[in-house]
């Protein structure tokens, strides 16, 4: 007997279903992690840390642009330079924090995740800049993958 309520033989059912599924084509290599660009992954890791540490409204008015990702030739280290753009000057102060403590906290937390992602030491250099009206810039929104076709929703 199988019972979801009593959690009886669920694993057996899963195994049976999987055994009956046809094997599909292999689209990616075994060691392939994602089809997303590396800079986008790095930017999203940094942005996730901002969502975690910052006030509610602030992270929704920011975007991260990764300027460079360079692997050092002489050492097993990756250098990453990224810019955090916000719409308001007041948000810039919140992101940086008193004596740079908030930016340091965001950077340290992101660096730990990036080191896990890359499997090596990462030096993360973060800068905060104000770019007023960036959310109204259609070209930038498309570049960031945020733009939508308004006709779809009319």
DSSP string, the chain: --BTTTTBSHHHHHHHHHHHSPP----S-TT---SS-HHHHHHHHHHHHHHHHS-SSGGGGEEEEEEEEEE-SSSSEEEEEEEEEES-HHHHHHHH-GGGHHHHHHHHHHHHHHHHHHTSEEEEEEEEEE-TTGGG-HHHHHHHT----GGGG-
Question: 6-10, 30-34, 61-65, 139-143: lowest mean pLDDT where?
Answer: 30-34
Question: pLDDT for 31-67, tens place per residue?
Answer: 777 777 789 899 999 999 999 998 776 767 888 999 9
Confidence of residue 77 (pLDDT cuts 50, 70, 90): very high
Question: pLDDT for 81-98, tens place per residue?
Answer: 999 999 888 889 999 999
The full set of domains in the chain, from first to last, is 38-146 (3.30.300.20)
123 close to 80: Cβ distance less than 8 angstroms:
yes
Distances (CA, A) of 69 to 11, 38, 55, 80, 153: 43, 9, 28, 5, 37
Question: pLDDT for 111-123, tens place per residue?
Answer: 999 999 999 999 9
106 close to 49: Cβ distance less than 8 angstroms:
yes
**How confident is the model at residue 29, as a pLDDT?**
74
39 close to 64: Cβ distance less than 8 angstroms:
no
């Amino acid at each position: 007997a199988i019972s979801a309520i009593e959690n009886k033989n669920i694993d057996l059912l899963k195994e049976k279903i999987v055994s009956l599924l046809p094997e599909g084509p292999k689209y990616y290599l075994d060691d392939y992690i994602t089809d997303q660009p590396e800079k986008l992954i790095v930017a999203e890791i940094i942005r996730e840390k901002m969502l975690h540490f910052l006030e509610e409204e602030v992270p929704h008015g920011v975007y991260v642009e990764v300027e460079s990702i360079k692997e050092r030739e002489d050492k097993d280290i990756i250098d990453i330079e990224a810019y955090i753009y916000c719409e308001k000057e007041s948000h810039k102060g919140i992101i940086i924090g008193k004596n740079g403590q908030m930016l340091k906290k965001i950077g340290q937390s992101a660096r730990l995740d990036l080191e896990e992602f890359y499997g090596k030491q990462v030096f993360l250099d973060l800068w905060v800049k104000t770019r007023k009206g960036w959310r109204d810039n259609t070209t930038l929104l498309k570049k960031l993958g945020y733009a939508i076709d308004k006709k779809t929703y009319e």
